[in-house]
């Protein structure tokens, strides 16, 4: 029997899924961007070819859909496995490029899929802070993105997103019309070869600092 991961990848590979993504992306730009009076900078950094880890701050469930209009390539993003248990919602999310991950556990299958996508030259969203955070500071990041970059040679593009926490914080049902700003920074290339754990930690700290810089810029742009 086909499992959720296999089904999601099969659907995402269909040509029709690209059209679904483009339609939803266009709808977001026509409907949500004017509603949130979106300002954006650095989208050209997301349009370079080759494997890329998109590393945004995470303050709201709005973050991933809002990023769809920042660049032109399809974003592949990890989404909690429970969302895929509904056959129709799961198919829709898969068409948008999402793939399931088990929260609260080391999901090796999801990690293998992320590596496979990057090796195929795709663009994968990885939230460096893990789950949603609050406030204007990037306090810490996990080494998962550094591990993926080390395994695949993918560049990391930090993305600061400001305003989404005020627009739709955790527990909020309807978004408020708060200005949203997004800033993508220049790609960060990992060291050549496999990184050791200490090297991963140092590289993660470099990404954290760069992420804070674009987050600060986005917060200023949102004022």
Q: What is the DSSP string of 127-190?
A: -TT-S---SS------SHHHHHHHHH--EEEEEEEESHHHHS-TT-SS------EEEEPPPBPP
Residue 189 main-chain phi, psi, to 5 deg: -90, 135
Give me 74's structure tokens.
Answer: 């399809």
Give me 114's structure tokens.
Answer: 């992320």
Q: pTM for the whole thing? A: 0.94
How many folded domains does the chain comprise? Answer: 1
CATH number at 35 reads 3.40.1130
Inter-residue contact 46 to 73 (CB < 8 Å): yes
From CA 41, how far away is CA 220, in angstroms rounded? 12
Q: Is the pLDDT of residue 221 over 90?
A: yes
What is the number of alpha carbons within 13 Å of residue 51 lying toward its C-beta?
Answer: 20
pLDDT (tens digit per residue) in 34-52: 999 999 999 999 999 999 9
What's residue 2's pLDDT?
Answer: 59
From CA 53, how far away is CA 107, in angstroms rounded? 18
Q: Is the pLDDT of residue 186 over 90?
A: yes
What's residue 119's pLDDT?
Answer: 97
What is the number of alpha carbons within 13 Å of residue 56 lying toward its C-beta?
Answer: 31
Inter-residue contact 211 to 170 (CB < 8 Å): no
DSSP lists the bridge partners of residue 40 as 182
Q: How confident is the model at residue 1 (pLDDT cuts 50, 70, 90)?
A: very low
Domain of residue 39 covers: 4-221
């Amino acid at each position: 029997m086909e499992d959720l991961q296999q089904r999601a990848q099969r659907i995402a590979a269909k040509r029709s899924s690209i059209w679904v993504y483009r339609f939803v992306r266009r709808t977001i730009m026509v409907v949500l961007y004017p509603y949130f009076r979106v300002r954006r900078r650095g989208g050209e950094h997301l349009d370079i070819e080759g494997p890329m880890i998109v590393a945004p701050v995470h303050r709201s469930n709005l973050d991933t859909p809002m990023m769809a209009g920042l660049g032109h390539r399809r974003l592949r993003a990890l989404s909690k496995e429970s969302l895929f248990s509904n056959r129709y919602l799961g198919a829709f999310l898969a068409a948008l490029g999402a793939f399931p991950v088990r929260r609260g556990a080391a999901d090796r299958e999801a990690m293998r899929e992320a590596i496979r996508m990057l090796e195929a030259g795709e663009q994968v969203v990885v939230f460096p802070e893990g789950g949603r955070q609050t406030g204007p500071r990037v306090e810490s990041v996990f080494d998962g993105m550094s591990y993926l970059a080390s395994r695949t040679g993918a560049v990391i593009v930090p993305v600061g997103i400001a305003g989404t926490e005020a627009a739709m914080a955790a527990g909020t049902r309807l978004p408020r019309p708060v200005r949203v700003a997004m800033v993508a920074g220049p790609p960060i290339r990992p060291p050549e070869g496999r990184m050791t754990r200490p090297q991963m930690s140092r590289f993660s700290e470099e990404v954290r600092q760069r992420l804070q810089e674009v987050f600060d810029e986005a917060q200023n742009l949102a004022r």
